[in-house]
Amino acid sequence: MGTVPAAYYEFVMKYAPYFYVVPTAMTADPPAGQKNVTVADGSKFQAGFPIQIKDSAHSEWNEIDSVAGNILTMKENLAYTYHVSKGGKVEGPDPAFMRGAFPAAFAIEFLYEAYSSEQFSSERALEDGFSKRLPDPKDQFGR
């Protein structure tokens, strides 16, 4: 496996276990440098959910800090201004399904390879400061 972008590794580690993604249109243009995004239906979101905010020009990941009606307040300030006229929307996991093993199964091979890569040795450092490699699955499963 070649070099894996750190952002992709972090995305898979945090977001792969979710079952369904629900897209919800923005109803106002949220400016960069602040945390609030107004959507058509705030009931589809919960605090702590990872979400993707995007339009045809930009995209970023954030986490919901709170929901008040149709206003989603992010944990981090927005990096970009998003526009309803450019298809602005927010996508997040469907609260009816939450997390599960099925979608994460598709990421297992990637995660094993990425975790075993020297590129991410600092990511797998144990609390006591030592690093540990995952066992080779060939040793465990006789492949």
Give the pLDDT band of residue 51 (cuts 50, 70, 90).
Answer: confident
CA 15 from centre of chain: 4
Reading across the β-sheet that carries 21-25, which strands appear in turn?
A: 21-25, 89-93, 50-54, 59-68, 71-74, 36-38
Q: How far apart are CA 81 and CA 119, in angstroms?
A: 33
Give the pLDDT band of residue 130 (cuts 50, 70, 90).
Answer: very low
Q: How buried is residue 116: exposed, middle or buried, by Cβ count under 10 Å (0-12/13-18/19+)?
A: middle
As a whole number, mean pLDDT of residues 78-105 equals 78
pLDDT tens by residue, 20-44: 677 899 999 999 999 999 999 999 8
Q: How far apart are CA 107 and CA 17, in angstroms?
A: 9
Q: Would the pLDDT of 132 be above 70?
A: no
User: What is 20-93's CATH number, 2.40.30, 3.30.160, 3.30.1490, 2.60.90?
Assistant: 2.40.30
As a whole number, mean pLDDT of residues 92-116 equals 61
Q: Would the pLDDT of 94 be above 50?
A: yes
Q: How far apart are CA 25 and CA 53, in angstroms?
A: 10
Tell me the domain boundaries of the chain. Answer: 1-17+99-128, 20-93
**17-53 core/surface letters (b: 16 or more CB in 10 A; e: else):** bbeeebebebeeebeeeebbbbbeebebbeeebebbb
- More confident of the two residues 126 and 10: 10
- More confident of the two residues 42 and 103: 42
Q: How far apart are CA 142 and CA 130, in angstroms?
A: 28
